[in-house]
Amino acid sequence: MSAITMVRQFGEVLLAIALAPLFVGWIAQCRAWLQSRTAPPLVQPYRMMRKLFQKDVALAANATPLFRITPYVLFGSMVLAAAIIPSIATDLPFARVADAIALIGIFATARVFQSLAAMDTGTAFGTMGARREMMVGFLAEPALLMVLFNAFLLSGSTALPSVVEAYSAGPLSINPSLTFAGVAFVMVLLAENARIPIDNPSTHLELTMIHEAMVLEYSARHLALIEWASSLKLFNYACIGFALFLPWGIATHGADGGWALLLAAAALIAKLVVFGAALALIESLSAKLRIFRAPEYLATAFLLAVLGLLVHLLLGS
């Protein structure tokens, strides 16, 4: 393994770990602007985590070891996912470990651990959050799989680096099936990352929360790791979206020296800035759905992805 490959691999992971909280901070800032509030500083998530790391953990008396290792498992699996997703370069030694479908599996592992940890202390809100999180999960997965099916039909691969390479080799064009799949993907992204319209990241209203209900019992460094992991999850989802739908700028195999990597990092940041603003706009324009409207919302995402599939098979493009 050459030095530049190691730089690419570790650089990408460190970049993800560093940028993820900033990305969340950026979305919060945009939302505040759109809602005519004074925006918090961009580094607010970092300040939050620094404070949390200094505090003492208040652990529920009946918490099992599962409860205590879960924050580490969550953070670990998200960092691992960041190592697999080609966000700035495709020639990563670790990228072959899992293709996009296996990546969904890694996210599912994190979700199951988080739900189990939420049930561990045996509180009413924890179990409620776990149940709702698992519900959103099983509704979102078919839609996400159909999105990947679309990408597979166009590129002949479910491995993200190959998808990016296949797109980059062809001419710039907007594919009708990818348009449907892209909309479906954004809908799934919102649902999976506990954002409006399925969940509200800033709520503490007991009966509507999902993600917050699951992490109620966590405090201090555990909570900081969980928050960091969920910002990494959003970052990872965004990068999967970029790889599938906006692969331009990612340094491909053979053209990934130092300057190309810097350029790719700049392109990634530009995409994140635009995408974060767009997410904030979507979230500001929509209202949170009642929890039992979630199936309809995710069924819409699923149908859009299936439409993309049918469009591809009918047009043969």
Partner 1 sequence: MLLLVLGWLFLGAIGLLRPHSLRFVARGLFPAGAVIGLGVALLGTVALLAGHAPQAMVLPLGLPSLPFHVRLDALSGFFLLLMGLAGAGISIFAAGYFRSGEGTAPGLLGLHYHIFLASMALVVLADDAYFFMVAWELMALSSYFLVVSQHRLPEIRRAGFLYLLMAHLGALCLLLSFGVLQGGRWQFTFDAMRGAPLTPLWATVAFLLALLGFGAKAGLVPLHGWLPEAHPAAPSPVSAMMSGLMLKTAVYGMLRITFDLLHVQFWQWGVLVLALGLFSAIYGAIFAGVKTDMKRLLAYSSIENIGLIFTGIGLAILFDACHLPLFAALALSAALLHSLNHAFFKSLLFLATGNVLHATKRRSLGALGGLAHTMPWVATMALVGTLAIAGLPPLNGFVSEWLLLQAFLFTPQIPHAFINMLVPLGAAVLALTVALAAYVMVKFYGIIFLGQPREPALEDAHDANWLERIGLAWLALGCIAIGVLPQIALRAAGAVTGLLLGQTVNFSSQLWWVAPITAKQASYSGLLLLAGIICVVGITFVVVRGLAHGRFRRTVPWDCGYPWQTSRMQDTAEGFGQPIRHIFGTAFDMERELPSPSDSAPHYRIHVEDRLWRMAYLPIERAVQRLSDAIGVLQGGRLAIYLLYSFLTLLALLVGVL
Positions 187 through 206 that interact with partner 1 (CB under 8 A): 206
Stretch of 62-70, 190-198, 237-245, 263-271 lying at the interface with partner 1 (CB under 8 A): 62-70
- Name 89's bridge partners: 251
**Do 195 and 211 form a contact (C-beta atoms < 8 A)?**
no
- Binding partner 1 (rule: CB under 8 A), the pick from 19, 146, 226, 265 is 146
Contact residues for 228 (Cβ-Cβ < 8 A; gap 6+): 17, 20, 21, 49, 75
By CB under 8 A, tell whether 125 contacts partner 1: yes
The Cα 181–Cα 147 span in angstroms is: 5
Tokens 């969340």 — which residue?
24
Q: Which is nearer to partner 1, 7 or 57 (CB)?
A: 57
Q: Which is nearer to partner 1, 29 or 87 (CB)?
A: 87
By CB under 8 A, tell whether 313 contacts partner 1: yes
Q: Is the peptide bond before 142 cis (omega within 30 degrees of 0)?
A: no
Is 174 exposed, middle or buried, given 0-12, 13-18 or 19+ CB atoms closer than 10 A?
A: exposed
Stretch of 129-137, 231-239, 253-261, 278-286 lying at the interface with partner 1 (CB under 8 A): 129-137
Q: Which of residues 91-110 bind partner 1 (CB under 8 A)?
A: 94, 96-99, 101-102, 105-106, 108-109
SS3 label, residue 245: helix
By CB under 8 A, tell whether 123 contacts partner 1: yes
**Do 173 and 166 form a contact (C-beta atoms < 8 A)?**
no
Least distance (Å) from partner 1 to the CB of residue 156? Answer: 7
**Do 238 and 86 form a contact (C-beta atoms < 8 A)?**
no
Least distance (Å) from partner 1 to the CB of residue 130? Answer: 7
The Cα 304–Cα 82 span in angstroms is: 27
Nearest residue to 304 via CA among 136, 137, 187: 187
Q: Tell me the chain's radius of gyration from C-alpha atoms.
A: 19
By CB under 8 A, tell whether 152 contacts partner 1: yes
Q: Which is nearer to partner 1, 66 or 266 (CB)?
A: 66
By CB under 8 A, tell whether 115 contacts partner 1: yes
Tokens of 166: 């296949």
By CB under 8 A, tell whether 131 contacts partner 1: yes
Q: Which of residues 219-238 bind partner 1 (CB under 8 A)?
A: 220-221, 225
Is 196 exposed, middle or buried, given 0-12, 13-18 or 19+ CB atoms closer than 10 A?
A: buried
By CB under 8 A, tell whether 254 contacts partner 1: no
- Binding partner 1 (rule: CB under 8 A), the pick from 257, 266, 295, 315 is 295
What CA–CA distances, in Å, run from 156 to 148, 152, 153, 249? 11, 5, 6, 21
By CB under 8 A, tell whether 170 contacts partner 1: no
By CB under 8 A, tell whether 76 contacts partner 1: yes
Q: Which of residues 1-60 bind partner 1 (CB under 8 A)?
A: 53-54, 56-60
By CB under 8 A, tell whether 142 contacts partner 1: yes
- Binding partner 1 (rule: CB under 8 A), the pick from 216, 246, 260, 277 is 216
